[in-house]
Amino acid sequence: MTLLKKIAETQVWRSIFRHGYPSTPRNRALAALSNVFLHLHPVKARKSGIRLSFTWCMGGITFFLFLLETITGVLLMFYYRPTIEYAYNDIIALREHVPLGIMRELHRWGAHMMVLAVWLHMLRVFLTGSYKPPREFNWNIGVILLLLTLLLSFTGYLLPWDQLAIWAITVGSNMARAHPVIGHEGPGASLLAVGDVSLVTPASDIRFGLLAGRFVGAAALLRFYVLHCVALPLAAGLLMAIHFWRVRKDGGISGPM
Amino acid sequence: MAAFESFFNSFASPSLVIIISIGVFLLYFFRMRMMMQPRVSFAIMALTALFLVVGSQNHDFFKIITKGDNMPIVIMIFAILFFLWLAFRQATLNDMRLEQGLPPNEAESSNKKVLVWPDLVYPEFVMTVALSAAFIIWGVMVEAPIEEPASGTRAPNPAKAPWYFLGLQEMLVYFDPWLAGVVLPGMIVVGLMAIPYIDTNPKGNGYYTLKERPFAIFMFMFGFLILWVVLVIMGTFLRGPNWNFFGPFEYWDPHKVEALVNVNLSEYFWVSWLDMRLPDNPLQRELPGIVLILIYLLIVPAILARTVLKKFFHQLGFARFSILVVLLLMMASLPIKMFLRWTINLKYLVGIPEWFFNI
């Protein structure tokens, strides 16, 4: 006890934690206030709002899963090269050469569960009417985060470069060629034309833009990799910051007025 | 076992699965208080589990439900049954309190504020540790699937989208890609975003209730459960090679033959009823369908505004009401098209393949 006390009195400790052990109301408030991570929370919250049966913790679980995906994803990036020569073999090597390697398992099961957690979070928010004023805008941020979650999962689906990956992405991206006006098999595709020359062709439509090619190939793999590892996580991170901030600004977890 | 298998296989058609799902949904919705009693809800969960356990005697069924990437859908089934119970149990209890003139249960402690350290931070910490442990165990027990190397020339049969998009892939049976893959998903997103702005009912903000907002909850739950979750489950477990429909215990025979007997509305109209040959001009040919679509999108909203949805028209005003009705009609278009397909084998209401414009 005295040793712990001594450590807590050192200059190093006190430079990091600016309050005593959080056993008094004052120190507990300071614990939340003076820590950048805990600062996501208010100092005090509605008792009804933080009940597990009210929130199901689904927003928190979604955030946990995002962190899990980020950590395991960064580790996977060390072993993975997004080219058709290497991608599949690198995934096999992960299994064959890394003892007790479960990063890919954690990443995959976590990704599936994150989609489910987002759905359940939205279900909870809907059923408690928590999208109603003043939280309309934050519901909208949430819908975009749902889309980003699905897109993250969809882009990640391609990366193992196995039969499941390439054909799931082929089925999914084939939808884009039926996009009205800007897909080459969509209604109105012939509207964009100069004289007899159509501007919307298999080599210039929205699907081509998505895949960087007419088929799911090397360019699509690289494109999905960059989206999956850089662009989409950054966008999701930014929107999550806004989402959490707005939860607090809009009055915390919802409750009856 | 054979009787068990053939009993469940006998429900094996999309129409029966969806109609039974809608029946169960209506039973839940209109007998909520009974269905939400813990013993009823947990009996349903136990029966579902029993079905999976007994069904697992069948080797193919066992292989499908324990396939790594299908495990999330099995988890989803139980998660949804459980959380529906958790939510609507609280809603029915709150509704009883509201009937007695009491505030909802959440109001009892909503003015009481507690310090987030430790009351929120500790549960979060426990949840983090528990989930980490659960995922590590799951990761050690089940290997992440990897199939053969990608080949652009050998398509697997069936080629399925990721599981969370299987609802959209199921829609492809009834609509062309431009609707099922672009317009309707777009409408889902727009519709979700519009919810806070078209639901002007101030009640039920911040607590579980059903009585105070039955319409909003009915529509949302119908869309989510029937038109999304059920279609995902169907797409995962009951759609096999060539996207043919298979019973849960049926062998996925890639050579199963399904007759394509679907007929366009224009053929019904010109050939069967008027006994003429199809007009050459596509617009004239598809005129009956075009008229029907215009009636559906323009006249039906006006009728709804004066009859069933009169109350909403007055509450919401013209702009909000129009958005609400268009969204509802777009949502209803899927079950309507399904129903037309099952009853009169309708292929397209409007079929202009020349312009990729098929509805």
Q: Contact at 8 Å (CB) between A125 and A139? A: yes
Distance from CA of B263 to the nearest CA of A (A): 21
Q: Is the domain of A193 the same as that of A122?
A: yes
Residue A47 domain flag: no
Nearest-by-CA chain A residue for B157: A167
| pLDDT for A72 | 95
Q: A128: closest CA among A139, A117, A137?
A: A139
Exposed / middle / buried, residue B103 (Cβ in 10 Å: 0-12, 13-18, 19+): middle
| Terminal C-alpha separation, chain A | 46
Q: Which H helix or E strand runs over B132?
A: helix B121-141
Interface probe for B, chosen from A105, A135, A173 (most Cβ of B below 10 Å), is A105
| A31·B168 Cβ contact <8 A | no
Q: B187: closest CA among B199, B173, B201, B171?
A: B171
Q: Is B150 on the interface with A (CB under 8 A)?
A: yes
Q: Is the pLDDT of residue B96 over 90?
A: yes
pLDDT band at B36 (very low <50, low <70, confident <90, very high): very high
| A126·B220 Cβ contact <8 A | yes
pLDDT band at A108 (very low <50, low <70, confident <90, very high): very high
Q: Contact at 8 Å (CB) between B309 and B301? A: no
Coil vs helix vs strand at B358: strand
DSSP assignment of chain A equals -HHHHHHHHSHHHHHH--S--TTSHHHHHHHHHT-TTGGGS-SEEETTTT-HHHHTTHHHHHHHHHHHHHHHHHHHHTT---STTTHHHHHHHHHHHSTT--HHHHHHHHHHHHHHHHHHHHHHHHHTTTTSTT-HHHHHHHHHHHHHHHHHHHHHHHTT-BHHHHHHHHHHHHGGGGSTTTSTTSTTGGGSEETTEES--TTTSHHHHHHTSSSS-HHHHHHHHHIIIIIHHHHHHHHHHHHHHHHHHTTSS----
pLDDT band at B51 (very low <50, low <70, confident <90, very high): very high
| pLDDT for A4 | 86
Distance from CA of A33 to the nearest CA of B (A): 10
Residue A215 domain flag: yes
Q: Is the pLDDT of residue A90 over 90?
A: yes
Q: Which residues contact A52 (CB under 8 A, 6 or more apart)?
A: B123
Exposure string (b/e) for B187-205, b if CB count within 10 Å is 16 or more? bbeebbbbbbbbbeeeebb
How confident is the model over B210-225, as a mean pLDDT? 96
| A44·B79 Cβ contact <8 A | no
| CA distance to A99, A214, B215, B260, B301, per residue, from B229 (Å) | 38, 32, 20, 27, 28
Q: Contact at 8 Å (CB) between B298 and B306? A: no
Average pLDDT, chain A: 93
- Please identify which residue in the block is written with the tokens 């999108």: B297
Rounded Cα gap, residues B55 and B48, in angstroms: 10
How confident is the model over A184-213, as a mean pLDDT? 88
Q: Is the domain of A104 the same as that of A189?
A: yes
What is the CB-side half-sphere exposure of residue B299 using CA atoms within 13 A?
6
Residue A45 domain flag: no
Rounded Cα gap, residues A245 and B85, in angstroms: 31
Rounded Cα gap, residues B351 and B264, in angstroms: 7
| CA distance to A103, A110, B7, B339, per residue, from A23 (Å) | 38, 35, 62, 64
| CA distance to A10, A16, A31, A193, per residue, from A3 (Å) | 11, 18, 22, 80
Q: Is the domain of A95 the same as that of A21?
A: no
| CA distance to A14, A18, A23, A31, per residue, from A10 (Å) | 6, 12, 20, 18
Q: Is the domain of A88 the same as that of A182?
A: yes
pLDDT over 70, % of chain B:
100
Distance from CA of A9 to the nearest CA of B (A): 22
Q: Is the domain of A14 the same as that of A125?
A: no
Q: Is the domain of A210 the same as that of A85?
A: yes
Q: Is A99 on the interface with B (CB under 8 A)?
A: no
Interface probe for B, chosen from A112, A118, A152 (most Cβ of B below 10 Å), is A112
DSSP B156: -
Residue A168 belongs to domain spanning: 54-249
Q: Is the domain of A63 the same as that of A87?
A: yes
Rounded Cα gap, residues A151 and A169, in angstroms: 11
Q: Is the domain of A67 the same as that of A146?
A: yes
How confident is the model over B224-244, as a mean pLDDT? 94
| pLDDT for A61 | 97
Cα four-point dihedral sign B210, B215, B219, B220? negative
| pLDDT for B342 | 93
pLDDT band at A101 (very low <50, low <70, confident <90, very high): confident
pLDDT band at B309 (very low <50, low <70, confident <90, very high): very high
Interval A129-159: pLDDT, tens: 999 999 999 999 999 999 999 999 999 999 9
Q: Is the pLDDT of residue B258 over 90?
A: no
Q: Is the pLDDT of residue A1 over 80?
A: no
Q: Is the domain of A129 the same as that of A27?
A: no
| A163·B192 Cβ contact <8 A | no
How confident is the model over A72-76, as a mean pLDDT? 95
Interval B150-162: pLDDT, tens: 998 898 988 999 9
Report residue B219 as tokens: 């529509």
Q: Domain limits of chain B?
A: 1-103+115-144+161-257, 259-359
| pLDDT for A39 | 86
Report residue B9 as tokens: 């296989």
Residue A96 domain flag: yes
Residues of chain A with C-beta less than 8 angstroms from the C-beta of B182: 175-176, 178-180, 183, 186
| CA distance to A130, B96, B105, B206, per residue, from B112 (Å) | 19, 23, 13, 15
| pLDDT for B185 | 96
Q: Looking at the 3D structure of chain A, how many domains does it have?
A: 2
| pLDDT for A193 | 84
Q: A36: closest CA among A246, A231, A230, A241?
A: A241
Q: Is the pLDDT of residue A40 over 90?
A: no
Residues of chain A with C-beta less than 8 angstroms from the C-beta of B169: 171
Q: B216: closest CA among B45, B91, B81?
A: B91
Residues of chain B with C-beta less than 8 angstroms from the C-beta of A154: 162, 165
User: What Rg value do the Cα atoms of chain B yield, rounded?
Assistant: 24
Phi, psi of A68 (to 5 degrees): -60, -45
Q: Tell me which residues of chain B, numbers 113 to 142, contact chain A at a CB-CB cutoff of 8 Å.
A: 113-121, 123-124, 127-128, 131-132, 135-136, 138-140, 142
| A255·B110 Cβ contact <8 A | yes
Interval A182-195: pLDDT, tens: 998 989 888 888 88
Nearest-by-CA chain B residue for A26: B115
pLDDT band at B220 (very low <50, low <70, confident <90, very high): very high
pLDDT band at B260 (very low <50, low <70, confident <90, very high): confident
Cα four-point dihedral sign B76, B78, B80, B82? negative
Q: Tell me which residues of chain A, numbers 106 to 135, contact chain B at a CB-CB cutoff of 8 Å.
A: 106-110, 112-113, 115-116, 119-120, 122-124, 126-133, 135
Exposed / middle / buried, residue A153 (Cβ in 10 Å: 0-12, 13-18, 19+): buried
CA angle, residues A176, A177, A182, in degrees to nearest 5:
90
Q: Is the domain of A96 the same as that of A222?
A: yes
Residue A256 domain flag: no
Q: Is the domain of A155 the same as that of A199?
A: yes
Residues of chain A with C-beta less than 8 angstroms from the C-beta of B36: none
How confident is the model over A174-185, as a mean pLDDT? 90
Rounded Cα gap, residues B312 and B320, in angstroms: 9
Q: Is A85 on the interface with B (CB under 8 A)?
A: no
Q: Is the pLDDT of residue A163 over 90?
A: yes
Rounded Cα gap, residues B295 and B280, in angstroms: 24
Rounded Cα gap, residues B69 and A79, in angstroms: 23
Q: B213: closest CA among A199, A102, A128, A178?
A: A128
How confident is the model over B67-93, as a mean pLDDT? 95
Q: Is the pLDDT of residue A257 over 80?
A: no
Residue A48 domain flag: no
Q: Contact at 8 Å (CB) between B117 and A35? A: no
Average pLDDT, chain B: 93
Q: What is the CATH number of the domain that holds A229?
A: 1.20.810.10
Q: Is the pLDDT of residue A99 over 80?
A: no
Q: Is the domain of A106 the same as that of A208?
A: yes
Identity at A16, one-letter amino acid code: I
pLDDT over 90, % of chain A:
69
pLDDT band at B58 (very low <50, low <70, confident <90, very high): very high
Interval B102-111: pLDDT, tens: 999 999 887 8
Q: Is B112 on the interface with A (CB under 8 A)?
A: yes
Q: B192: closest CA among A238, A141, A207, A58?
A: A141
